[in-house]
Structure formats: structure tokens, C-alpha cells
Amino acid sequence: MSNRTLSSIRFGVMTTDSQRHLRIAIIGAGMAGILSAIKLTEAGYTDFTVYEKGDSVGGTWRENTYPGLACDVPSQLYSYSFAPNPNWTQPYSRGSEIQAYFTGVAQERGVIERTRFNDEVKSCEFADGKWHLVTANGHEDVVDVVIAATGVLHHPSMPDIAGLESFGGKSFHSARWDHDAVLDGARVGLIGTGSTGVQIVSAIHDRVERLDVFQRTAQWVLQMPNEPFTSEELEGHQDLDVLRDNHEKLSVAFRRFSNAVIDAESEETAVIGAACLFNLEQNVADPELRERLRPTYTAACKRLIISPDFYEAMQHENVVLVTDHIAEIVPQGVRTDDGVVHELDVLVLATGFHADYFVRPMKVIGRDGVTIDEAWKDRPLAYLSIAMPDFPNFFMLNGPNGPVGNFSLIEVAEMQFAYIEQLLAELSNGTAEISPNREVTLACEAERAAAAAKTVWMTGCNSWYLDDRGIPATWPWPFDRFRDAMAKPNWEAFDLVSATQRGPR
């Protein structure tokens, strides 16, 4: 008997006539977790719990509170399609405004009361056809399905610099901002010039006595205006048709960027590079400083920096660009290879995140005792960034090798959840376990890795997109291909287990 002849047709797949009750756990109450809870409710799944390690929703927007925090995706695009926000105050919104948006949506859509706050999931183990969860507080739960909405950029990466613990002043990672640290009139050192570092420079340079910016690699910066919306614009945004029209226009523009970065030789890539070069050439007056800020790699090879005023801030009289290698941290500050000690009161580490952690450090044990660390011993791997072989009914949003670097993550998550919803429908209608076939998963990964070699991320820079092989761990194809892949599961790619048999049917 074939995999499907026991069933009737629903959602384009074969399903049984009787409905199976599903109990579901959502891990994480950030952007993707809130989305999951809302969409589950809309689809009629009411037996679920959201587990959140923090004391409120918002994920990265709750944890990051550094000065200048903003999204580098336009506000009207970084919004749920079902909850447009007419009240964004500027094109690229501040972090506090984004956090307020997610909190408001969660409150309005009933997510708050479904969430266990301050209760981190420490382990998930698949046994007897169920997922057994244990939290930090000792709470235990048994569920049919786990939806991991744990985010990507939330485990701070601390730099490996000798003497870091010896610093005599305030020292902290940008994602763990110490608001008791006095910046006004202080000597501040900033290690890192990625998106976070650039935003911090713009926000604090006119508050501090001196700001030493320690740059390991120069960044290409695309200048985008971010003036507050006028009263007329805000009034126009109250019209939902205007909002939808703006959203579509921004989506089209963002897709052009997405298509540019997957082809290093594209005309769009050249246009981006020219715009970044123009920003540097026109806005940095001092030729010596300009050369030190000039990258030696193709624009967008690293995550492109969006800023209206970074170069202006870097030319402020109290801002010092330091390009000498850091030798060590000493109690007085930072010693560079030239022997200079840069004396500091505050040291900020804008050194990024462990982007390859995903669901870890949570302990996840799948079928036959295989652990997530064993499954990912070489590197994180998932079929379409959503599911893994040997981990049945465990689905991820924004998982490994997805389009984290080239699409709006909200748009990605919405498409991924629509895909997961079809897997849930199959589970509701007679299938006990769903996991991707290992051979198919490996074949898809081989194809993805080969395509990634043609992207702009492979043009000669070192970035957090690259895995241990130096291959970009992201989606290397156009937006349309991702949308098509998310439209409907290819059921031949999955191993299905019936309710009466613990093996492939």
C-alpha cells in the first residue's frame, strides 16, 4: 500500500477522515513566536503553550537596548502582513518602537496569556512518539509538536582578547547594555564596526569626551535618510490601502536587493557598490581617514550597513578611528600592537553573535537518541531551514541556511509558518510523525552550497554568514524560488510514520 492510499485529500495531500488532537509547544516569544501563536489560533489549534526565557515578548528587541538601536529593514516592511502599523514614526524605526509594536500585537492577539515567561526550555526529548520538555524551573510538558522560534542573533559572541577581564572600568557586550554606565563626558572604546557598532557611534559620539572606534575591517555603508515622517505622511499612513501600497513597493525594492546579493556579477550588485562608494567619496573629507574607511572587498559581501550619518559621526573631532590590531586589554584600556594604550572609562563590545547556535544551547534529542549536537557535528543542517532528519514533528522558523541575510525575516517567517501549517494538517489527519528524508536533505544542501559559491558573500570577505567551510549559510537563490518552495510541501521529501507503525510507511 502506498504512503497515501489510506487517506482522503486535504490541503493537496492525502489525509485520514478523523481529526487528531495536537498539543504544541512554541519555544520563544520573539517575532516568530508571536507569529506562530497567532497563526495557530487562527487555524484552530488551541492546545499550545509559548515558552519564553525572558520576562516579556520581543526577543532580540527586548534584549538589545543599546543607544541608536534600529532596524535596517524599513519599518513598513518589518511588520506582520496581518497587523500593519500606521504609526511608525520614521522609515527605519528605533528598537524601542519595534519592541512596543510586538508587545502591542501580542497583547491584542492573546499571546501574552498563552506564554510562560522566565521559563527557558532546557531540554526536548522525543520518546514514545511525543516530545518531552523540561524547563529551567523544573516544569515538564509532553507535546506532539515543537515549533522552535528561538531566533538567530541572540547569543552574544565575546571576543577572544587577552586581558579582557582585567579592564578597570565598565565593560559589556552591546546586547547586554549596562545602563548604569556613565557615557556623558566619558572616554569610551567601541570594538566592532558592524551594524550595531555603526549605530552606537552615531548615537553617542556627541555625548562622550572621546570615542575610540576599534575597526578590524572597514565596512561598506549605504546612506539612507531616516528623517521622521511628516504629519501629512503619518496621516496618509492611516489609510490601510496606502500602507499596503507602500509595503508592496518596499517589497519589490527589497527583492531587487535580494536578487543582487545572490549574483556577484549582477547589475544590481554594481549599483549597490556604486552607491556605497559615492557615500564614502562624497561624505568623508579627509583623504587619510577616507582610505582607512575604504573596504577592500565587494559591497554587500558582509552584511550591508545602513546609516544616514555614520561618516559624519566618524569625522567628529572627538572620534578616533583605531585600525591597529588589538594586542590586549589592560586595566587602563586597550593596548594596540603599536604599543599605545588607549585609556578608557567604558569599553563596549559590539562583536556580534553566535549565529550558528539556533536552538542551542537547548538540549534536543531526536529519534533513537540522536542529539542535536551529533546531528550538527559538522555544521547546522535543515531541510528548507525548517525541519531535520531524525527529529520528527520538530519545526523551526528561520532555521539553518535560510534567507537571514537577504529577505525581511518577518516575510520569511510568515511564509515558513504557512508551510508548517500544512505539515500540521497532515499530522492532524492521521500521520504520527513527519521528518525530512536524510538523502533528500543532503542532496538539497549540496545544491544550496554549490549555488552559494556564486553569491556576493563569496567574493573575498570574512563574515558571520560563512560556515566552517567558508560557504555562506544562507539562501542563495531568488526570492521567487523561496516563495515557491514555501507554497506547498514536496511530500516525497518527507519520511512519514503512521499512527499504528513506528517506521516509514
Condensed to tens digits (0 to 9), the pLDDT of residues 245-277 reads 888 888 888 777 887 888 888 888 999 999 999
Looking at residue 255, its pLDDT comes to 79
In a domain, 43, yes or no: yes
Which one of 349, 382, 400 terminates a domain?
349
Same domain, 134 and 230: no
Residue whose grid cell is 531566533 = 151
414 with 481: CB under 8 angstroms? no
List all residues 6 or more positions away from 210 whose beta carbon is below 8 Å from its beta carbon: 187, 188, 318, 319, 320
3-state secondary structure of 435: strand
Which one of 304, 330, 349 terminates a domain?
349
3-state helix, strand, coil in the chain (%, to 5): 30, 20, 50
Q: Give the distance, in angstroms, between the CA of residue 245 and the centroid of all CA atoms in the same chain.
A: 26
Cβ-based neighbour number of residue 305 at 10 Å: 23
SS3 track for 13-29: EEECCCCCCCCEEEECC
Same domain, 143 and 168: no
Same domain, 336 and 370: no
Same domain, 176 and 289: yes
pTM attached to this predicted model: 0.93
Q: What is the DSSP string of 172-211?
A: EEGGG--TTS--TT-EEEEE--SHHHHHHHHHHTTTSSEE
126: exposed, middle or buried (C-beta count within 10 Å: 0-12, 13-18, 19+)? buried
Same domain, 312 and 200: yes
Same domain, 473 and 431: yes
Same domain, 210 and 333: yes
List all residues 6 or more positions away from 138 whose beta carbon is below 8 Å from its beta carbon: none
Which one of 349, 374, 405 terminates a domain?
349
In a domain, 63, yes or no: no
Work out the widest C-alpha separation in the chain, in whole angstroms: 77
Cell readout for 112 is 501574552
Looking at residue 504, its pLDDT comes to 42
Q: How far is CA 129 from CA 125, 422, 488, in A?
A: 10, 20, 25
Looking at residue 246, its pLDDT comes to 85
In a domain, 488, yes or no: yes
Distance CA(333)–CA(451), nearest Å, equals 44
Same domain, 37 and 132: yes
Cell readout for 336 is 594596540
Distance CA(20)–CA(199), nearest Å, equals 49
Looking at residue 250, its pLDDT comes to 85
Label residues 410-437 b or e (16+ Cβ within 10 Å = b): bbbbbbbbebbbbbbbbbbbbbbbbbbb
- Residue 270: which domain range? 164-349
Same domain, 344 and 379: no
Adjacent-strand bridge partners of 346: 170, 188
Total domain count, the chain: 2
Same domain, 175 and 314: yes
In a domain, 204, yes or no: yes
Q: Which residues of the chain have pLDDT under 50?
A: 1-17, 502-505
List all residues 6 or more positions away from 79 whose beta carbon is below 8 Å from its beta carbon: 85, 88, 101, 247, 410
Same domain, 481 and 441: yes
What are residue 454's phi and psi, to 5 degrees? -95, 0
Residue whose grid cell is 520538555 = 133
Q: What is the CATH number of the domain that holds 367?
A: 3.50.50.60
Amino acid at 343: E
Looking at residue 11, its pLDDT comes to 34
Length of the chain: 505
In a domain, 259, yes or no: yes
Distance CA(324)–CA(179), nearest Å, equals 29
In a domain, 97, yes or no: no
Same domain, 199 and 138: no
